[in-house]
């Protein structure tokens, strides 16, 4: 009888232990799942223009914090791939504080950019930026951020230019970070990466294969297209641009822009790997060409500006918001069709940085006139961005999004 009772006690004890272990396992699984979801939400914004975020954190809503201890993330003079249009220190900018501002979201911290971790994530893959000179600036920023982690013996061997495609290769990772010049995304008369200053812009809004064949197999695609569309009307061409055998129609810019984005989204839906490819569209990069846009003097621009905007609100033009609405609709449509597509909202954080442009401190491709020299703000570049600077923050956001997948 005693043996039976002992056996019964052991059985009940073992059952309780088993139930306890099962409960612990279920609790661990539950916590892990919730933690995974929380971490993903922490660094992921929704696609609706990047303006509505998850309940955890909106990376695009925050403030600039002066940080001269951990920023800049690289040296302008030490980056061998710096472009002269972005090298403000090289071209005599006396104040360097623009390099020391760090973007701080209100409700969380951006993950620290880790070049080695990103290169490991890119092992055997292609990261391709497609767009205009602003997107090229982001690409230069990314290359400068990454090259510091690549052994010096490889730094000069794996950089090549082939027409519109410029490639930085990290051969030890079998990875490439590329930029493809396509300022209007679809085919246009502005497709030459050097000779592209064409005021009379013509686009083939239904043709993208000339460009897309160079990047349709990329693993990560980062697009932008905005400034080159900024005109009241656009000429849409049906036929070959090389031969005068087509017809064209002048359209309202927004209608032409929508046609081009339709072509872009249809191509991606049909040709990229839905299971593999990550697609990001950068929202519009603001210019600071008139002080009235941030509550200042309308006659002033970014010339001599050395501090970010701290008060007031940047004024958007109606067409800007309408363009972003079109982009949002197309990106949301891609997501509905199973493509990993997302908008990264860089607009708000960039609006504060009226101090971040090259102004007069950049290479000038044509000699300046005496009239220009007498009025420096007349030739100040308030469109592009100094490096190190604002595009580094764009890449910090991109880094967070890449690692959220």
- Let me know if 381 is a catalytic residue: yes
> For this structure, is 384 an active site residue?
yes
Ramachandran class of 124: left when φ > 0, alpha when ψ lies in -120 to 50, beta otherwise: left
Gap between the Cα atoms of 61 and 122, Å rounded: 28
Please answer whether residues 67 and 100 qualify as being in contact, where contact means their C-beta atoms are separated by less than 8 angstroms.
Answer: yes
The active-site residue, picked from 211, 288, 361, 384, is: 384
- Annotated catalytic residue 133: yes
- Are 234 and 251 within 8 A, CB to CB? yes
Residue matched to tokens 């839906």: 269
CA 390, CA 385: separation in Å to the nearest integer?
A: 7
Pairing of strands 278-282, 187-188: unpaired
Handedness of CA 359, 362, 366, 368 (dihedral sign): positive
- For residue 313 the two structure tokens come to 């609100």
Which entry of 60, 133, 188, 283 is annotated as an active-site residue?
Answer: 133
Separation CA 332–CA 64 (nearest Å): 29
Catalytic, out of 191, 219, 381, 392: 381
Please, which residues have CB within 8 angstroms of residue 243's CB and are 6 or more apart in sequence? none
Q: Where do the DSSP E strands lie in 72-124?
A: 101-105
52 contact partners, CB below 8 Å, separation of at least 6: 45, 46, 58
CA distance 161 to 167: 6
Euclidean distance between CA atoms 90 and 379, whole angstroms: 18
11 CB contacts (<8 Å, ≥6 apart)? Answer: none
Point out the residues that are catalytic.
133, 381, 384
């Amino acid at each position: 009888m005693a043996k039976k009772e002992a056996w019964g006690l052991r059985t009940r004890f073992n059952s309780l232990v088993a139930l306890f272990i099962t409960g612990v396992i279920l609790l661990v699984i539950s916590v892990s799942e919730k933690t995974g979801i929380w971490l993903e939400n922490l660094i992921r914004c929704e696609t609706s223009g990047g303006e509505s975020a998850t309940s955890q954190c909106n990376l695009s809503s925050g403030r600039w914090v002066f940080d001269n201890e951990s920023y800049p993330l690289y040296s302008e003079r030490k980056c061998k791939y710096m472009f002269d249009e972005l090298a403000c220190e090289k071209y005599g900018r006396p104040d360097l504080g623009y390099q020391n501002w760090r973007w701080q979201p209100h409700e969380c911290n951006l993950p620290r950019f880790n070049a080695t971790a990103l290169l490991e994530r890119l092992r055997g893959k292609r990261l391709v930026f497609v767009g205009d000179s602003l997107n090229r600036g982001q690409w230069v920023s990314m290359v400068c951020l990454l090259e510091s982690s690549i052994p010096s013996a490889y730094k000069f061997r794996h950089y090549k230019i082939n027409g519109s495609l410029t490639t930085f290769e990290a051969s030890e990772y079998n990875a490439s970070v590329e930029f493809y010049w396509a300022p209007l995304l679809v085919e246009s008369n502005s497709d030459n990466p050097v000779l592209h200053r064409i005021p009379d812009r013509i686009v083939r809004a239904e043709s993208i294969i000339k460009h897309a064949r160079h990047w349709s197999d990329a693993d990560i695609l980062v697009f932008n297209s905005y400034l080159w569309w900024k005109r009241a009307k656009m000429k849409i061409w049906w036929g070959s641009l090389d031969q005068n055998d087509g017809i064209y129609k002048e359209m309202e810019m927004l209608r032409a822009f929508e046609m081009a984005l339709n072509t872009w989204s249809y191509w991606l839906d049909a040709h990229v790997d839905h299971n593999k490819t990550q697609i990001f569209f950068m929202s519009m990069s603001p210019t600071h060409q008139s002080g009235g846009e941030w509550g200042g003097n309308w006659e002033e621009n970014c010339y001599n500006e050395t501090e970010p905007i701290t008060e007031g609100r940047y004024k958007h033009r109606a067409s800007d918001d309408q363009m972003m609405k079109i982009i949002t609709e197309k990106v949301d449509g891609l997501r509905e069709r199973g493509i990993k597509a997302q908008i990264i909202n860089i607009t708000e954080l960039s609006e504060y940085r009226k101090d971040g442009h090259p102004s007069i401190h950049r290479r000038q491709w044509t000699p300046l006139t005496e009239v220009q020299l007498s009025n420096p703000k007349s030739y100040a570049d308030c469109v592009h961005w100094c490096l190190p600077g604002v595009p580094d923050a764009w890449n910090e956001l991109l880094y967070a999004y890449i690692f959220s997948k």
